[in-house]
Amino acid sequence: MKKTGINMEKVKRRNRLLIVNFIHETGPVSRKSMSETLGLTPAAVTQICTELMDRGILIETGTLPGEKKAGRKRVLVDIDYNYRYVYGINIFPENIILVLTNLNGEVLERAEIDPVLERSTEELIDQMAEECRKMRKLQEVGLEKMAGIGISICQFDAETGHSSRYGKREWDEDLLRKKISAMSGLPVEIGDSVRALTMAEQFYGHGRQRDNMFLVHWDKWLWSSCVTENKIYTDHVKKPVGLEHLIIQKSGAKCYCGRRGCLETVVTFRNIRDHIQKLFNEGQTPLLSDMIDGDFTNFSFELLVSRSNEMDSVIRSYLGDIIDVFARTIINATTLLAPESIVLSGRWFKNEQNLNNLIRATSFYDESYDNRRLIYTRLSDREDYIGGVALITGADLYDFLY
């Protein structure tokens, strides 16, 4: 049966998609390797690569390192990540971080805005648009080279660790999109920080080599998400589904979600701080008292994360119980979902001792949950800005480039 023009175009699109995604996942690669790995003919690979290079999407980056054979050298092909540029706007309760990056998330310019409550939302939106314009002007990037603006909005209150729909300020997403788009002349994509950072892990982090993974972010607050067959698993309102609202205590505290005993009520910084303060007030924490000069107002999340293993035994025992509950919850949730890897992020896990404590706890219950399955994010130094960028770049690489 002869293929129609429509079918042939679908085949070409599929092959272009295969090649672009393969290069993004593996890095610079030869045409021969693409042909052998993807099952495409050498002629098809050469034709598609030539077409994409003519468009400026692909570039040749040299020859295969260490190749000593006589004859024609194998030339490596890579994506030109300077083909387009992206604005990432990341709105947190305590600050707003704006970046101009290339497609690989490499920062060209960065700015920060203090979202003080005395300033109106409209004033802040105007300043965001102005800062974006300044960054592009400094880098001499033409508007035609800009792909769009991604706006990630953190929905966690920095003080309570609870979801409070963007902290103390209400952000009207329709107004934000309309004003930023009108002032910039660019498409705008808005998403909450959980979806944005999950997309960032898919596009820039471990997700480049994994289609199925479970993400756990532990900072002052907790969030998690699941990626199945390279898609973010969501509930009926398209919100990423995680483990923070699994019930783990029979007579636990009431969670802001309305349930009692959620994991969220145990592991957020506010709850941990309140429990440790009770121990402090009862005189059970002389080591901690020395660390904070006898004044509990000096107790901070940074101190807890960096020096928890030096604190009093009663605190270490309490934190050990939290880690144990956390480990069992992760295993129970992922036994059903069966991800290839559990990717950990957030400042709690940035401390290697804390990370190892969790891995020891999970591997105690199930030896397969070791440091090969529980892995730390590659994006720890980019978490404050990469989410907004990924909302633009991470949707569909081929459609985005082509």
For 16-30, the pLDDT digits (tens) are 988 998 998 889 999
Say yes or no to pLDDT of 153 above 80: yes
The CB-side HSE value for 50 (13 A sphere, CA atoms) comes to 6
Assess whether pLDDT exceeds 60 at residue 156. no
Q: What are phi and psi of 213, to 5 degrees?
A: -155, 160
Q: Which range (196-200, 233-237, 290-294, 317-321) has the least confidence?
A: 233-237
In a 13 Å sphere around the CA of 341, the CA atoms on its Cβ side amount to: 20
Give the model's confidence band at 164: pLDDT under 50 very low, under 70 low, under 90 confident, else very high.
Answer: very low
CA 191, 195, 197, 199 torsion-angle sign: negative
Q: Enter the pTM of the model.
A: 0.86
| pLDDT given at position 253 | 87
Confidence band, pLDDT 50/70/90 cuts, at residue 76: very high
Whether the per-residue pLDDT at 234 is higher than 80: the answer is no
- Report the chain's mean pLDDT, rounded to a whole number: 88
Label the pairing between strands 146-153 and 107-113. unpaired
Instruction: Read off the DSSP letter of residue 2.
Output: P
What percentage of the chain has pLDDT greater than the value 70? 89
Residue with tokens 């992922």: 334
Distance CA 198, CA 395 (A): 11
First to last CA, the chain: 30
Alpha helices for 55-120 (secondary structure H): none
